[in-house]
Every structure is written in C-alpha cells, then in structure tokens.
C-alpha cells in the first residue's frame, strides 16, 4: 500500500462534474488501500478572473492583498472536492495552506516554501481520511497568506510529497504526460515514457509550462518520484526520473520548448572598452529586471552593439533604464523588439553528440528562418527568432530531430 500525493490542475476541477470525477478517481485509489493526499488548483479560469477583478480596482494592487485574493480560488475547490468525496462515502478533510502550516518566505505572489508541518496530515491519514490541500498557497512566519507563483500547485504537491516521503507524486492534468513538445502546437508530438529531472527542468525553464519550474527543482532536490498523467483518461503518463546510466542509447534531443515571453533590447554604438557591459547591465539589475540571453558583437572602430533579452513585462522599464545609460556611456540608439520568440532543443544526449547545432541551424535555414540570437548549455540550445515563425520553427525542429518518427518511440 502506497502513500500518494495527487495534484489535480484547473481543467481537472473545472466544473462540479469534473470534481466528482476526481473524487471517483481518488476513491478508487482509497479502495485499493492507498493513502492519498490530494492537492487541488482553482477551477480553470478562476485565478485569471480574480486577477482581472483586482485590476478593475487598481493598476498595481499590493502583493499582500493579491495573495489574499487569488488564494481564495483554491479554497473553493478543496471544500467542493471534500464534499464530493464525503458524498461517495469517503472520509475527507480540506485544509488551506496555512491550516497545514505550509510556511513560506514573505515574497508575496512568488513565495518559496521553507517548511511544512506534516503531523496533522499524518494524523488524518492514520485515521483513514483523504487529506485535501489547497495548492499554490502558504503563509509566512507572521501568518500572512502567500502564494507560490502561477502554476504553483505543482510545487505544493511536490513539497508535500517530499515532506511526507510519499511513494509517488502524481500530477494530473489535461494531457496524458510530458510530450516532445506542446501537443497543442505540434499534432505529431509524442508522449515520453520517461524524462530526466534535468531535462524536465530545462523544458520548464524554457517555456513548457506543463510543470512549474520550482516543482521540478524540488522533486530533483528531494528525489521525489514524479509522474504527469491525465485526469481524463487512463495511462501511465510520464515518469520524471534520475538519469539512468544503464538506459539504452538516449535520443540526442528529447524535447523542444518555446516561449513568447521575452523581448529584445539593443544598444548600438557602445564604446568597446572595459566596463561597458557592466555599465549597461548593472542599472538593469538594480531595477530588479532579470536578463536572459546576451550578445555583444565584435567591436569595430572601438564601438560595438550590445543586445539582450528580458521578460516582456519588463520591456518598457528596461528601455527607460537604457535611455539613461546611453547618455552616461556615450552610446548610440536604444532599439527594441517585442515580437520575438525563443525556441530551444533539450536533451541529455547532446552531451555525447557533436553536430546537434548544425542540424538545428540547417532545419531553420531550410525554412528561411533567421536566427537573431543563440545561447547554449550542456543539454540545450536556444535561438531567438521572429515570433511569426515560431510554430513553423518548432515543427521543423521536431521532424529534423526525428521526434515525430514512430521508429524512435521508446528509449527505455
């Protein structure tokens, strides 16, 4: 008999019928004798609705009040799911994050979990109850309600699984596993039987929002067996595992991630002297703006062009900061482009294969797609391209790396 932590996302609890279906599924696991802790998200669309209400009142609501507001979504679903379980004859109890005592830091809207008191959950489990916990939320040391960032219920589930030393953390969603790329964009995307923590972390960081980045980090750090499955149909889903040394040959590229969240800023005529990069990026970092990719061209006549990307939400602020910077540095114009996309290929197999970049660049070039920026790490290559070519690029790469080829269906 296992201890399972199961998380059901927004679409999986989107209606009362769906909540009843979740109760049936949880009930089946109970009948098999497993202990179950369930983490639920708000009903689909609810968190967005709450955020929109806040913006009707003011442009920049205080983060503390935002957390009080958006955490209510999950409180609705824990109560409804517990009722559905009780109706079906299962003993169940709902808890908000603060009732469980999920203690976080005080960074409202993007808090990090520091500690979880698993005692009360254990008492309920020992008494034969299903424990239903609100995802996405916790409280700081002063009792203020905090939330963990969009998609944060995944992290709640993994953190509870780590605290309870659960046998498996199951993330139930509207797709039946992790795919080679977003199946909503590429029809021929293929479900992966397994993916390593490291690859999943890159995929999530580079835009595959099927799991929150922090959930994957947490699972890797505490070695929580993590599985992504569908709440709509049966199946094994995708297991996120440690790298298997004895596995048969890995595919070179396991998946393709992409995002449209970034914007590009370019300063021309930057003096090609020591300290210029610092002169540009320090004020950006002082303004609390995170920089992703950076390219500095080879200087000509002691001048160079400096390009970097930031989150689109920070684009206007970054532009303002740069206007001040160019004067100080004696640099030229500040240019910008918000219509860019980042496409990345990810795979631990890249470590032992040369020529991966060539295949990538060839596939893009064949489609006439211009690469604006490139960045690489041991297990990924990312390129920035014009946003309008995003889907074409993902499809081209998907077939160039034979991801939609049934012949490479399984690697383990």
Residue of 40, 175, 379, 397 interacting with ligand ADP (CB under 6 A): 175
Q: For residue 200, give the H/E element and its range.
A: helix 197-205
Closest CA to 13 of 71, 74, 69, 61: 74
Q: For residue 382, give the H/E element and its range.
A: strand 380-386
Annotated binding site: 7-10, 47, 74, 173-174, 179, 184, 209-210
Residue nearest to ligand ADP (CB): 9
CB 344 within 8 A of CB 357: no
Residue 152, binding choice from ligand ADP, Mg ion, ligand ASP, none, Cβ under 5 to 8 Å by partner class: ligand ASP
Q: How far apart are CA 384 and CA 222, in angstroms?
A: 33
Closest CA to 159 of 23, 39, 12: 39
Whole-number minimum distance, CB 6 to ligand ADP, in Å?
Answer: 12
Hey, which residues between 50 and 109 contact ligand ADP (CB under 6 A)? none
Whole-number minimum distance, CB 156 to Mg ion, in Å?
Answer: 11
Q: Would you give the binding string for ligand ADP spanning residues 205-244, x where CB under 6 A is met? A: ---xxx----------------------------------
* 20/174 with CB nearer Mg ion: 174
Annotated binding site for ATP: 7-10, 173-174, 179, 184, 209-210
CB 234 within 8 A of CB 308: no
Structure tokens at 53: 């209400």
Structure tokens at 155: 């992290």
Report the interface residues with ligand ASP, using CB under 6 A: 9-10, 41-42, 47, 73, 135-136, 150-154
Residue of 5, 6, 11, 360 interacting with ligand ADP (CB under 6 A): 11
Task: From residue 259, give the alpha-carbon distance in Å to each of 68, 189, 347.
Answer: 29, 17, 18
Whole-number minimum distance, CB 405 to Mg ion, in Å?
Answer: 29
Q: Helix, strand, or coil here: 341?
A: strand
Whole-number minimum distance, CB 351 to Mg ion, in Å?
Answer: 29
Whole-number minimum distance, CB 223 to ligand ASP, in Å?
Answer: 22
Report the interface residues with Mg ion, using CB under 5 A: 9, 151
Whole-number minimum distance, CB 136 to ligand ASP, in Å?
Answer: 4
CB 285 within 8 A of CB 275: no
Q: How far apart are CA 140 and CA 101, in angstroms?
A: 9
Residue 82, binding choice from ligand ASP, ligand ADP, Mg ion, none, Cβ under 5 to 8 Å by partner class: none
Number of neighbouring beta carbons within 10 Å of residue 178: 30
Residue 42, binding choice from ligand ASP, ligand ADP, Mg ion, none, Cβ under 5 to 8 Å by partner class: ligand ASP
* 45/324 with CB nearer ligand ASP: 45
DSSP string across 71-133: THHHHHHHHHHHHHHHHTT--EEEE-HHHHTEEE-S-TTS--EEEE--HHHHHHHHTTPEEEE
Q: How far apart are CA 164 and CA 116, in angstroms?
A: 9
Whole-number minimum distance, CB 281 to ligand ASP, in Å?
Answer: 30
Residue 184, binding choice from ligand ASP, ligand ADP, Mg ion, none, Cβ under 5 to 8 Å by partner class: ligand ADP
Hey, which residues between 140 and 159 contact ligand ADP (CB under 6 A)? 151
Q: How far apart are CA 164 and CA 158, in angstroms?
A: 10
Residue of 28, 49, 87, 184 interacting with ligand ADP (CB under 6 A): 184
Number of neighbouring beta carbons within 10 Å of residue 200: 30
* 149/271 with CB nearer ligand ASP: 149
Q: Helix, strand, or coil here: 186?
A: coil
Residue 178, binding choice from ligand ASP, Mg ion, ligand ADP, none, Cβ under 5 to 8 Å by partner class: ligand ADP
Q: Helix, strand, or coil here: 176?
A: coil
* 210/360 with CB nearer ligand ASP: 210
Residue 73, binding choice from ligand ADP, ligand ASP, Mg ion, none, Cβ under 5 to 8 Å by partner class: ligand ASP
Number of neighbouring beta carbons within 10 Å of residue 406: 8
Based on the shown chain and the rule CB under 6 A, indicate whether residue 382 belongs to the binding site for ligand ADP: no
Q: How far apart are CA 139 and CA 156, in angstroms?
A: 12
Q: For residue 147, give the H/E element and its range.
A: strand 145-147
* 10/347 with CB nearer ligand ASP: 10
Hey, which residues between 275 and 334 contact ligand ADP (CB under 6 A)? none
- The residue ranges that bind ligand ADP (CB under 6 A) are 9-12, 41, 151, 173-175, 178-179, 181-184, 208-210, 255
């Amino acid at each position: 008999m296992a201890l399972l932590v199961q998380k059901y996302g927004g679409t999986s609890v989107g209606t009362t019928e769906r909540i009843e279906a979740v109760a049936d599924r949880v009930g089946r696991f109970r009948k098999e004798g497993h202990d179950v802790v369930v983490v639920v998200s708000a009903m689909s669309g609810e968190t967005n609705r709450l955020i929109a209400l806040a913006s009707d009142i003011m442009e920049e609501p205080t983060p503390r009040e935002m957390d009080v507001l958006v955490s209510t979504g999950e409180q609705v679903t824990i109560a409804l799911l517990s009722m559905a379980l009780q109706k079906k004859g299962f003993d169940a109890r709902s808890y908000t994050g603060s009732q469980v005592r999920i203690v976080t830091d005080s960074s409202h809207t993007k808090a990090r979990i520091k500690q979880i008191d698993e005692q009360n959950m254990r008492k309920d489990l020992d008494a034969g109850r299903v424990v239903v916990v609100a995802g996405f939320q916790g409280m700081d040391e002063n009792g203020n309600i905090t939330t963990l960032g969009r998609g944060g219920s995944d992290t709640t589930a993994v953190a509870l699984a780590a605290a309870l030393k659960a046998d498996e953390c199951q993330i139930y969603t509207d797709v039946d596993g992790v795919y080679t790329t977003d199946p909503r964009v590429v029809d021929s995307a293929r479900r992966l039987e397994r993916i390593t923590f490291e690859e999943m972390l890159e995929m999530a960081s580079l835009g595959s929002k099927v799991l929150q980045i922090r959930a994957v980090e947490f699972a890797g750090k505490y070695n929580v067996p993590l599985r992504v499955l569908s709440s709509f149909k049966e199946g094994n889903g995708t297991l996120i595992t440690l790298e298997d040394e004895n596995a048969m040959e890995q595919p070179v590229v396991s998946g393709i991630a992409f995002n449209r969240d970034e914007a590009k800023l370019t300063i021309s005529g930057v003096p090609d002297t020591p300290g210029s990069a610092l002169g540009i990026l320090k004020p950006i970092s002082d303004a609390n703006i995170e920089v992703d990719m950076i390219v500095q061209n080879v200087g000509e006549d002691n001048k160079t062009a400096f390009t970097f990307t930031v989150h689109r939400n920070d684009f206007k602020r970054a532009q303002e900061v740069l206007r001040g910077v160019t004067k100080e540095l004696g640099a030229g114009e500040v240019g910008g482009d918000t219509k860019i996309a980042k496409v990345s290929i990810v795979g631990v197999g890249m470590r032992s294969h040369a020529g991966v970049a060539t295949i990538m660049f060839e596939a893009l070039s064949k489609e006439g797609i211009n690469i604006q920026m490139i960045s690489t790490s041991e297990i990924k290559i990312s390129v920035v391209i014009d946003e309008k070519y995003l889907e074409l690029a993902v499809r081209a790469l998907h077939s160039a790396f034979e991801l939609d080829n049934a012949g490479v269906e399984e690697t383990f």
